[in-house]
Chains A and B, each alone.
Chain A
């Protein structure tokens, strides 16, 4: 069935092992990508409905998963399991909200390294200092018209979720922004 099929790789030619820009010293940023088999939005009719936290909690309990609020009525989840959508639908009654399958709507790019804040500051009008953007939190923003969700995993690691149709362009923008300090694509 479709769940066992591997989705087409979204990134194109730029996704190969290579270092770009500054070649000497340790790279400022390394990019990797992990396949998220399930990605979904949970939307509730009421602002700050507790079901949003319930959905996030259920996803994170699976381990290695992402779940964070993206709006007053919205949450985003991403994990490597196939069966999250039915589980989420069972948590959200129709009278209170809805679950939207976005498993193919977004892609996940992980950016990690000592200069990751510097690089991301070129693309997003966000304060990436760790005092302002704490590990374990996620935000919704955009680079020009390319919407992206951004989740901070640790001091030096972020995972970004742009829309699939912009994946190649967004990867190109990340690589270009990282060239100043040296950026590695670890395909």
Chain B
């Protein structure tokens, strides 16, 4: 697998480590609603198809990336810097 890091360019999969589902929003840290927190920490949708996920460019620039990757064909559909994705996502 090769991922096109927005900073470093196309790099081998071995340089990256998977950091989980990027479709979740972290609950309000002040909340202790166990149902909401259990869901956030433990439950995932096992998507067949295009999946949005975080990857860390561990052996390169060490930036976190948001990658859309097809779990069936392994095609990388899109890549963005995580911090820009998250900043733009906030209301």
Contacts and interface: CB of A to CB of B under 8 A. Distances in A.
Whether A and B touch directly in their complex, counting CB atoms under 8 A apart, is answered as yes
Given A47-B81, A47-B84, A71 B62 contact: yes
A98 interface: no
Interface string B57-87: 0111111000000000000000001011000
Q: Is the interface of B mostly helix, strand, loop or mixed?
A: loop
Interface residues of B, number: 16
A141 B60 CA distance: 5
B6 interface: yes
Contacts of B12: 125
Contacts of B63: 71-73
Nearest to A46: B83
Given A71-B7, A72-B6, A125-B14, A142 B81 contact: no
Contacts of A126: 11
A74 B11 CA distance: 18
Given A71-B7, A72-B6, A125-B14, A141 B83 contact: no
A69 B9 CA distance: 13
A140 interface: yes
Nearest to A125: B12
A72 B61 contact: yes
B6 A142 contact: no
Interface string B1-34: 0000011100110110000000000000000000
Nearest to B58: A142
A140 B8 contact: yes
A69 B84 CA distance: 18
A33 interface: no
Interface string A38-79: 000000000100000000000000000000011111100000
Interface in A15-45: none
Interface string A140-158: 1110000100000000000
Contacts of A69: 7
A130 to B, nearest CB: 16
B15 A141 contact: yes
Interface of B: 6-8, 11-12, 14-15, 58-63, 81, 83-84
Given A47-B84, A140-B62, A142-B15, 11 more contacts: A47-B83, A70-B61, A71-B7, A72-B7, A72-B63, A72-B83, A74-B61, A125-B14, A140-B59, A141-B11, A142-B59
Q: Give the top 7 A-B pairs by smallest Cβ distance, nearest first.
A: A71-B61, A142-B59, A125-B12, A72-B7, A72-B63, A140-B60, A140-B61
Interface of A: 47, 69-74, 125-126, 139-142, 147
